[in-house]
Structure 1
């Protein structure tokens, strides 16, 4: 029965969820005439049905409108269906509407828990309480038509066959927030219900520069690997996946041209931790220091495969606990530095302090050759590639927050000016600051972009 869900079928954009005593039924109501999905309340099993069951006159089912299925989360004994109950359109990505999930709802399929032993029931209750956190997860974005997990360049480079695949099959697993929760739906071949979701930030604005209208989008994609609360999750795991890894993309569209620039951030890529205690600045502990070179090597090998050349910009202090981390990082980088991998230390606090951010021009002068060589994606009015980005700047401080935010903002701003000059909007010496209205819109966009990454 499941095979009736065709792989090329569009995602359902609006559904009605019926809550019966023994099952939930999700009925597409967007005019697509697809089969309804029945989810068993006892064990979470699924099957497609042609019609919604008739309602009993004794017990009328609860009905609510939903806008997407996040997936199914299985705990010790029960399963839990997670859906989007409200959304907000926040802009467009390459011509397609982008939505923010503003409300989630969890529906338990845990009637089988009644047959579990006391210990299983106790653990299930503890775990199910944590689901309230999932319901309050912020910064979730999705599209029914375009793959938000991929940058504009990776989308453009998809082969014709890949472009025909369902969105979840095109998705980049690193940035697919509900990857694990979609597994049950994937197993049951429920493509029209499989909605890819990313966690991060999406900001979009349009502004006039002279007679031209420029559309600017900032997207942050938070990696799903090595997740955790910022103060408790540091460094890398043994495979080289780092905490707080985020891919940020800046897209400019004007007069048919599309230009995209990508940069990344992530924790210092070897095994270390910060033991949280009552002190203002808890101590940093380097774990298994002998493994640092191998972990760093794995991390940068992965970055090279995904982005090309890499320039690692390290913003931490040269003294104190941070200094020990920076020294270890610099020493480990000696094994991976090559024509494709560069390492640059910039003592942000020493050079810029807390207010002199204009001194970041010193850093820019040191990396401008890399930026000019590896540039950005540029598509013309026909969608043909005129330039491509062949490398990425990887920035880190300790938390990948304040220092990283300011530095990435500076780089993004300089690159936006270069992109606008190339498209022909700016003259050779023109800057964003020359246009107060555009400058203000860009600063507001950046502010909310950064706010969502805290």
Structure 2
């Protein structure tokens, strides 16, 4: 129900193919990349935490799941470079380690672990050159597609870079835009639009370069809106090569929106995706949308009222705490009750959060 990685057939929960197309003078070219969830069996159950706990599901078929996923990629795209952008500590680190362990069993796939947050510091776009330097030889061998206007094939892309973080949204989009820019530079040099010493980013302020960067920002936003309900984070890094104050504010608003949507709306959104796939009759079963007293839509308003009421009473008593000993005692009691209420709500977070309703029927 809560799985975010892959199913037993090796199909991942999130998988997107992005093709960058270019037409210049008498040439047409393209560069293709893919992104996808880490193809293990893993889950993440929302529980009011900002970052819910990641759990890797131990299953005897896990090696076969990973093998099926990458076999399919190689059948479709050729040589594959798997770039893992997840953190190497905490919950992400455990998932990344499990991924790396399985990838050691696939010698035909180049696996590269690149801790985006640690290496780029969250805002240094150019630090991705460290990643490119690591994969440069294989990346250049994969190449890109290039043909003349009369249809003569000049180059053919011989492989693909598969990038992932946890959600395959923010870090992944920044990384893909960087690799796409390198490929664009190679294509323009091959078309003689640039000399061997020139680079697209040397034309700072150029209108075409701004349009190109905005294309990647907009693409990241569209994918993120589809998957998370908000624009992608780190958009300014793609657009300007660095994080800005306004970008940080926008990212903060998007992060808060994601928190609300993840915890209280995504269950219904998942049902919307699942309905077209529902191929069996419910018959006399109770409606999967029927609420009971333990459902999130009944518990969330109650929990909200209790928390807001407790915080309000505590604030009032704290303002009067200096008047006499009785108000001090009342303030302490109210503060303790509020803390207890918050702990109770957090402990029952899984029951309060929205959950998928149709997965068990598929």
Report the TM-score, using the length of structure 2 for normalisation: 0.60
Deviation at 1:233, TM superposition (A): 5.0
- Which structure has greater strand proportion? 1
Q: Which runs of 5+ in 2 are unaligned?
A: 225-362
Matched-pair contact (CA < 8 Å) for 2:3–2:41: no
Contact 1:276/1:282 (<8 A) preserved: yes
1:439, distance to aligned residue in structure 2 (A): 1.4
Asked if the contact 2:83/2:161 (under 8 Å) is kept, the reply is yes
Residues 375 and 390 in structure 1, CA contact (< 8 A), matched pair in contact too: yes
Q: Is 1:440 paired with 2:210?
A: yes
Q: Which digits, 9 at most, give the CA deviation of each residue in 1:6-61, with x for residues without a partner? A: xxxxxxxxxxxxxxxxxxxxxxxxxxxxxxxxxxxxxxxxxxxxxxxxxxxxxxxx
Provide the rounded CA distance (Å) in 2 between the counterparts of 1:273 and 1:329. 14
Give, in whole Å, the separation in 1 of the partners of 2:91 and 2:155.
42
Q: CA deviation at 1:434?
A: 2.5
Name which structure has the greater RCO, CA cutoff 8 Å, separation 6+.
2
Q: Which one of the candidate residues 63, 69, 74 is aligned to 1:299?
A: 69
Q: What's the Cα RMSD here?
A: 1.3
> Kindly tell me: are residues 289 and 320 of structure 1, through their superposed partners in 2, closer, same or farther at Cα, counting changes over 3 Å?
farther
Separation in 2, partners of 1:394, 1:266 = 7
Matches within 5 A, 1:65-84: none
Q: Is the 8 A contact 2:15 2:35 kept in 1?
A: yes
Instruction: Determine which structure has the larger helix proportion and give its number.
Output: 2
What secondary structure sits across from 2:163 in the alignment?
A: strand
Contact 1:432 1:438 in 2 (8 A): no
Structure-1 separation of matches of 2:198 and 2:41: 45
TM-score, normalised to structure 1, is 0.48
- 3-state secondary structure, aligned to 1:290: coil
Distance in 1 (CA, whole Å) between partners of 2:163 and 2:137 is 17
1:405 to 158, 173, 180: 173
Q: Give the length in aligned residue pairs.
A: 222
Matched, 1:431 2:202: no
The one of 18, 40, 63 aligned to 1:248: 18
| Structural mapping, 1:22-37, within 5 Å | none
Q: Once the two structures are superposed, what CA deviation does each residue of 1:374-394 show, in whole Å capped at 9, x if it has no partner? A: 101111121111110110000
Deviation at 1:353, TM superposition (A): 1.5
1:290 Cα deviation from its structure 2 partner: 3.0
Report how far residue 242 of structure 1 moved: 0.6
| Structure 1: stretches of 5+ with no match in the other structure | 1-227
Distance in 1, matches of 2:59 and 2:96, equals 13
Q: CA deviation at 1:289?
A: 3.6
Give the secondary structure class of the aligned counterpart of 1:316.
coil
CA contact (8 A) 1:259 1:378 kept: yes
Residue of structure 2 in register with 1:375 after alignment: 143
Q: Counterparts of 1:445 and 1:343 in 2: how far apart (Å)?
A: 28
Q: Which residue of 1 aligns with 2:250?
A: none
Where 2:60 maps in the other structure, the secondary structure is helix
